[in-house]
Amino acid sequence: MKNKLFFSKMHGLKNDFMVIETLTQKFLLTKKIIQKLSHRNTGIGFDQLLVIESPKIQNTDFHYRIFNSNGSEVEQCGNGARCVAKFIFKKKLIKKKKIIVSTKNRIMVLKVKKNNKFLVNIGTPQFHPKKIPCLSVIEKKIYSLKINSRKISFGVVSVGNPHCVIIVHDILKAQVKKLGSILESHSFFPKKVNVGFMQILNRKNILLRVFERGVGETQSCGSGACAAVMIGIQQNKLSNTVHVMLKGGKITVKFNSKKNCIYMLGSANHIYDGYIYY
């Protein structure tokens, strides 16, 4: 007999998700089932599956897990965090507008704002190679690798998940798929990496495309936006408040240097509720 699963389909700037809660229902998490559900022709279709569970840490409201469409579990998803906040608020799983969730490697604060905006405290950026992780003995602002006889320079940062950010002159000409797929699985990144391609317009505005680890290029990437801004700030090319324009829309990223925290402000959209037998 097949199992019945209730879910919501949501998106954050066209980065789309299947969102479920395991507070009132059980869900058997296997790679095969996730891959089946993520299929865009025979399943629900999504970039990531977001799972809201009972709290595992004291003084948190929920635990939040993220799975890529290939079934692999990852540590962070900025667009997903905003959708989780909207889901929790819409489904009245909690009454307050400040929601504290734990993830695989950090605690995040989600705030419900006006006009369908959600503020996410992403936490502290990590630049040390061991925190990314990447295979470098020392921390640098700019790293480089030789890819197909060409030197590629980039910055690296973890914002809960690993990111490699390349500054490009023309975002439309960036080799996102080709270069992104090579760097994603390069031996320099033992746990793979998300690859961002950033075009800087001025100190407060950038264009960004992201090749996500385990997914490929997506319409937008919230953690990728935070990572790109942090690399820009580290290299003294961006201010502490930056508007990030992605294929799917705009995110505002703010860095509080005193608290050493990244904040992301953006929208979240509920598409429909449904159920599926799996």
Residue 1's pLDDT band (cuts 50, 70, 90): low
Are the beta carbons of 235 and 141 closer than 8 angstroms? yes
Q: What is the mean pLDDT of the chain?
A: 95
Determine which helix (DSSP H) or strand (DSSP E) holds 20, and give its type and residue range: strand 15-21
Mean pLDDT throughout 191-216?
A: 96
- CB neighbour list of residue 1: distance below 8 Å, 6 or more residues apart: none
Q: What is the DSSP string of 34-75?
A: HHHHH-TTTS---SEEEEEE---STT-SEEEEEEETTS-EES
Looking at the DSSP bridge assignments, the partners of residue 265 are 119, 252
Catalytic residue selected from 83, 164, 221, 226: 221
Q: Give one DSSP letter per residue of 124-148, joined into a string.
A: --B-SGGGTT-S-SS--S-EEEEET
The residue annotated as part of the active site, out of 77, 134, 164, 226, is 77
Is the separation of the CB atoms in 144 and 151 below 8 Å?
A: yes
Residue 221 is a catalytic residue: yes
Say whether 164 is catalytic: no
Element (H, E) at 217: strand 216-217
Can you read off the two tokens belonging to residue 40?
Answer: 């865009």
Residue range 88-92: average pLDDT? 95
Contact between 123 and 110 (Cβ < 8 Å): no
* Angle between helix 78-90 and 222-234 (nearest 10): 130
Which sequence spans correspond to the domains of the chain? 4-120+267-277, 129-259
Asked whether residue 184 carries a pLDDT value surpassing 70, the answer given is yes
Same topology, domains 4-120+267-277 and 129-259? Answer is yes
Question: Which secondary structure element, helix H or strand E, spans residue 230, and what is its range?
Answer: helix 222-234
The per-residue pLDDT for range 92-107, each reduced to its tens digit, is 999 899 999 999 888 9
For domain 129-259, give the fold: Diaminopimelate Epimerase; Chain A, domain 1 (3.10.310)
Looking at residue 257, its pLDDT comes to: 96
- What would the mean pLDDT of 61-66 be, rounded to a whole number? 97
Q: pTM of the predicted model, to two decimals?
A: 0.90
pLDDT in tens, 219-253: 999 999 999 999 999 999 999 999 999 999 999 99
- What's the confidence (pLDDT) of residue 278? 87
Does domain 4-120+267-277 fall under CATH 3.10.310.10? My reply is yes
